[in-house]
Amino acid sequence: MASTSEHWNNIYQDTEECRLGWYEDHPSTTLELLNQIPGWENTTIFLPGAGTSLLVDYLLDAGARLVLNDLSSVALRLLKERLGDRGVRAEWICQNIAYPLGASVAEVDIWIDRAVLHFLTDEHDIGGCFRNIRTKLKVGGHALFAEFLPNGVSRCADLELHGYSLEELLERLGEDFEPVDHFEHTYIGPDGESRPYIYSLFKRVA
């Protein structure tokens, strides 16, 4: 199975939102890190692979400006339908985050990747995603990741995974970034299965 737009479209078409293996009814774990960034409510935040996450509603309601990306047009359509008028304030980008973002996408203050990066298994794709972060994240901005740990879960959404340690995230971000905080979190899915994640926050210092 490959992580194509068709694969993800089928998942979003066929699965009730609260049955998705990454569903959260409140983004409290992400907020533990986000709340360490003073004034995040008045920033522009990029969400790769936003899916239909309720984090989007929370961020918009708090006042943040959002750039919403996903490979799946179905996920973005469902999210747009749910947001209604609130969605007008967001910029929408349907593309593979491994490919370069266009010049029209402005620099952002915060990049939040929850459970997206770990689906990139090809070295070229992983490199492309990190290049987008370095191109679009302002100096002084923050990158927040919630990814599977190495040797944690072997598959999700019927796909192979590339798990991350703090050290690997830092190495791939490069020397312009420094770690702010991180912790491990066990996510309990809709079927009661437990999945170990690493949540981590980095600041771009140069």
* Interface ranges with ligand SAM (CB under 6 A): 3, 8, 22, 48-51, 53, 69-72, 75, 96-98, 114-116, 119-120
Least distance from ligand SAM to the Cβ atom of residue 175, Å: 26
Categorise residue 170: left if φ over 0, alpha if ψ from -120 to 50, beta otherwise.
Answer: alpha
What single DSSP character describes residue 22? T
Half-sphere exposure of 91 (CA within 13 A, CB side): 18
Q: Which residue is nearest to ligand SAM (CB)?
A: 49
* Cβ nearer to ligand SAM, comparing 115 with 153: 115
For the beta carbon of residue 139, count every other beta carbon within 10 angstroms. 10
Amino acid, single-letter form, for residue 149 = L
* Cβ nearer to ligand SAM, comparing 64 with 75: 75
Least distance from ligand SAM to the Cβ atom of residue 186, Å: 16
Distance CA 92, CA 88 (A): 9
Least distance from ligand SAM to the Cβ atom of residue 106, Å: 19
* Cβ nearer to ligand SAM, comparing 36 with 96: 96
